[in-house]
Chains A and B, each alone.
Chain A
């Protein structure tokens, strides 16, 4: 059994960066957005590592990474990501802003995926993060799935097990720190990954060189996509979070515990 795995992954500002919104004529954006260092979206990154792991265990499988982002920023991020796992890039040149519309982003990605040469829809596993670290809506992947007519969809996935008969067992996060267990007849399916169980692979420069041979032509051929804002914004701001902190330095552990327990009971 082989799979054609397409991982949808955007790029986001490095989580350690402070973000400041600015209002433009079309809506909000981030101050110095093009200057901010970017990384592959964390949950989508997990999806990519899971895809590569799955492909490695099933001969004949292929992995594509479909990304909608400004071409120049995407190229920077690919310099690192390409060293992690083998994949082919499907690049779409458009905004990576979190304020853009999920439906329009989904349309651009679905069109690009549908146009992948050699993609076998009967083997298709559409992977991605269950939410991004930018729009954080958890909406794009489902819409791409609908556009590709895939009605077996799973979100918050932490585990995909392929059983000997080719059916899947899938664990999805649900409320209360539990997992819902589902079975699925097989591909095609949409899986929005949470953290999974794999750790980030170490950089492999040789793999990076191999990947870049196909990544650069893809970046050069990236088709532009217009993705409008997700509605009309009247405000975008970082709320003030400053609190007056009472520092308690001179109480015994017993006295502190007494105070904490009283507070818990209130």
Chain B
């Protein structure tokens, strides 16, 4: 083993003591990097109850598990999370620190790098060690350019983009986690809760297999010369409910509310994908009533299988970018899709009952 390199994997524990998928993906990334470097790795856990997570870390091959426990660390708050991460990093003496690019860690990791006098890269999709040199791949200019870089400065914090690695799924192991003392500043902030979208409908599901992308065409005049926004709303939400898909919107659609046009009430800027929106990672993507060129396509880059329903066979959004382009009216197609998805969900319990 190369004892000159030390690796720390940081993870925050969920309120129920479990590790979320992004944390397990980072365990995989950390274990892989440690194996490539022939170096040991340490896991640092932050949360209220870290016992279960510590066992998983041991099963993943962690040589040591450090933990910061306590009620103050249940909250995703900058002051406490930064202090915890800093304390664990100093206790581990790690030169390379990996953490999942969750909203919680992304809030604090750069500040922690500043405190440690180190450097940071975020949204990392790949970590590789060759001949002892570690390099990372990430996207620049909002997913338009991919770069590969290495650094000599240490410690080097790496925020791993969720969805880019396999989640660790091995057996738990035995370990005695070591508590780390944290010195907290005066706490002036408090997390008071989580608020869901006003519509009450969950439309964003990061773990969904399918991303349904809705374009501005849903709110435009149809063949009869009229708009059909209520039906569009019903069809889109119906498909989301039946398929448990996540919903993405083009910028033009989510911007409509600012232009005084008919809008889909559940569609907000949080649904926006593309260059000025998010870049969700899903196995499949189905685009409906969309059109557009390069600025929007970046939102598709991380969708493995892509299909589109569009009235324009020559649409630049679809040609060369989707695997299958169905030239048809999205209203008619999605009506039928929902019927068939509904029938399928009705059939499944009956089939289960027969077996």
Residues of chain A whose beta carbon lies under 8 Å from any beta carbon of chain B = 12-13, 15-16, 18-19, 21, 28, 42-43, 98-99, 101-103, 106, 133-143, 145-147, 151-156, 158, 169, 171-186, 194-195, 199, 230-239, 241-249, 251, 253-254, 256-261, 263-265
> Smallest Cβ distance from B299 to chain A, in angstroms?
12
Query: What residues of chain B lie closer than 8 Å to A106, measured between beta carbons?
Result: 114
- Chain A CB within 10 A, most for which of B102, B143, B276: B276
Query: What residues of chain A lie closer than 8 Å to B268, measured between beta carbons?
Result: 177
State whether A185 touches B188 (Cβ < 8 A): yes
25 sample A-B contacts, Cβ–Cβ < 8 Å, listed by A number:
A13-B141, A28-B145, A133-B275, A137-B122, A139-B113, A139-B120, A172-B107, A177-B196, A177-B270, A183-B189, A185-B189, A230-B121, A232-B150, A236-B147, A238-B145, A241-B321, A243-B323, A244-B323, A246-B323, A249-B313, A253-B332, A257-B333, A260-B333, A261-B340, A261-B344
Q: Beta-carbon contacts of B297-339 to A below 8 Å, as 1s and 0s?
A: 1000100011101000100001111111111110011111101
Cβ-closest chain B residue relative to A27: B149
State whether B323 touches A245 (Cβ < 8 A): yes
Checking A19, A180, A260 against B145 with a beta-carbon cut-off of 8 angstroms, the contacting residue is: A19
- A169-B190 Cα distance, complex, nearest whole Å: 10
State whether A155 touches B107 (Cβ < 8 A): yes
- A233-B73 Cα distance, complex, nearest whole Å: 37
Query: What residues of chain A lie closer than 8 Å to B113, measured between beta carbons?
Result: 103, 139, 143
State whether A260 touches B313 (Cβ < 8 A): no
State whether A184 touches B188 (Cβ < 8 A): yes
Residues of chain B whose beta carbon lies under 8 Å from any beta carbon of chain A = 76-79, 82, 102-104, 106-111, 113-115, 119-123, 135, 139-152, 185, 188-197, 202-206, 209-210, 243, 258, 268-272, 275-276, 284, 286, 294-295, 297, 301, 305-307, 309, 313, 318-329, 332-337, 339-341, 344
Q: A176-B205, A247-B313 are in contact. Are A256 and B110 (CB under 8 A)?
A: no
- Chain B CB within 10 A, most for which of A13, A143, A186: A143
- Chain A CB within 10 A, most for which of B110, B202, B307, B337: B110
- A132-B321 Cα distance, complex, nearest whole Å: 26
At the interface, is chain A mostly helix, strand, loop or mixed? mixed
Cβ-closest chain A residue relative to B148: A235
> Smallest Cβ distance from B264 to chain A, in angstroms?
14
**CB-based A-B contact count at 8 angstroms:** 265
Q: A101-B119, A142-B110 are in contact. Are A233 and B329 (CB under 8 A)?
A: no
Cβ-closest chain A residue relative to B120: A139
State whether A241 touches B185 (Cβ < 8 A): no
Checking B82, B205, B258 against A151 with a beta-carbon cut-off of 8 angstroms, the contacting residue is: B82
State whether B276 touches A42 (Cβ < 8 A): yes
Query: What residues of chain B lie closer than 8 Å to A232, measured between beta carbons?
Result: 149-152
State whether A243 touches B321 (Cβ < 8 A): yes
State whether A146 touches B149 (Cβ < 8 A): no
State whether B141 touches A174 (Cβ < 8 A): no
Q: A155-B106, A175-B103, A176-B206 are in contact. Are A99 and B147 (CB under 8 A)?
A: yes
- A19-B275 Cα distance, complex, nearest whole Å: 13
Query: What residues of chain A lie closer than 8 Å to B146, measured between beta carbons?
Result: 235-239
State whether A151 touches B329 (Cβ < 8 A): no
> Smallest Cβ distance from A110 to chain B, in angstroms?
10
Checking A18, A182, A199, A242 against B191 with a beta-carbon cut-off of 8 angstroms, the contacting residue is: A182
- A158-B254 Cα distance, complex, nearest whole Å: 15
State whether A257 touches B336 (Cβ < 8 A): yes
Q: A103-B114, A138-B106, A178-B197 are in contact. Are A231 and B325 (CB under 8 A)?
A: no
Query: What residues of chain B lie closer than 8 Å to A172, measured between beta carbons?
Result: 103, 107
